[in-house]
Amino acid sequence: MNAITEAFQKAKAKGNGALVGYVMAGDPNPELTPKIADALIGGGIDVLELGLPFSDPIADGPTIQAASVRALTAGTTPMKVLEIAKQIRQRHDVPIIIMTYYNPVFRLGLERFFSLAKESFVDGVIVPDLPIEEAGDFKRAANKSGIDTIFIVAPSTSNERLAKIVECSSGFLYLVSHFGVTGTQSAIEDSTIQLVKRVLPYTSGKIPLAVGFGVSKPEHVTQIIEAGADGVIVGSAFIDIIRKIPDVTDKALKQLQETATALKVATKI
């Protein structure tokens, strides 16, 4: 069993949904990312998702776009992100996912990228701008390295295509909660709950279902887990804390840990 699926199963066995915590690697600088990871893991996240900064993050809203700019300005490179992942994984038994756009993967080369990812103890990869129709070589290279390929489903995805994406995915299926880009939302829309219920028959018994985009408050988490999802993905809520206290002082780290804890408690089934 792979580490990501195992993390979801462990959470379920404890009567919880899984909490995936996302931060941009290198924001505000590469040296601080492991400390941020320590705080989130200490707060109870089950899986850590590290964003690889990119100059044209088309799926991301202003919060994560700004984090990407800060990380790039601080000199964060794809190789540095993999070094950070390795450092964190050596300290914590928590699966790590890299979220990257396809261009950095293409420039490194598929075989080299996944070989380096494996050496860095990366457990899964998300590439939001890579459709499954063009992901054959990507999937084969990932499988060869034993790394999960996590694909994204949008509200507009047809049932026929949804079934195909489920078959191509491993680790978990990433369900986008609403149209648009990433960012915090004031409330979870009824359409999100209905979307979860529409997707569940396709994932049940096959792969865990995690919901992201706009999930930022404990009440959001509770609503989504109660609708039947296996986990939630939270990013902008953490990045907002990092942005407001750019030196990432002990105060910021404490706030990150407390936020993660509150969100994790809300996953109680």
Q: Is residue 171 part of a domain?
A: yes
**Terminal C-alpha separation, the chain:** 23
User: Hey, what are 208's tokens?
Assistant: 């865990």
Determine the pLDDT at residue 82.
98
Domain that holds residue 138: 3-10+17-264
Determine the pLDDT at residue 187.
57
Determine the pLDDT at residue 1.
63
Q: Is residue 229 part of a domain?
A: yes
On whether the CB atoms of residues 66 and 246 are closer than 8 A, the answer is no
**Rounded CA gap, 192 and 178, in Å?**
6
Residue whose C-alpha is closest to residue 69's, from 82, 51, 48, 83: 51
CATH number of residue 254's parent domain = 3.20.20.70
Q: What is the pTM of this model?
A: 0.94
Q: Is the dihedral of CA 177, 180, 185, 187 positive or negative?
A: negative
pLDDT under 50 in the chain at which residues? 180-184, 186
Determine the pLDDT at residue 59.
65
Name the packing angle between helices 78-91 and 110-119 (round to 10°). Answer: 30
Q: Is residue 94 part of a domain?
A: yes
Q: Please, which residues bridge with residue 98 across strands?
A: 50, 125
CB atoms within 10 A of CB 168: 17
Q: Is residue 269 part of a domain?
A: no
Residues designated as active site: 49, 60
Determine the pLDDT at residue 214.
81
Q: Is residue 55 part of a domain?
A: yes
Determine the pLDDT at residue 60.
67
How many structural domains compose the chain? Answer: 1
**Rounded CA gap, 214 and 96, in Å?**
21
Q: Indicate the DSSP class of residue 25.
A: T
On whether the CB atoms of residues 72 and 53 are closer than 8 A, the answer is yes
What residues contact residue 93 under an 8 Å CB cut-off, 6+ apart?
A: none
**Rounded CA gap, 162 and 154, in Å?**
9
Q: Is residue 76 part of a domain?
A: yes
Name the packing angle between helices 33-43 and 78-91 (round to 10°). Answer: 40
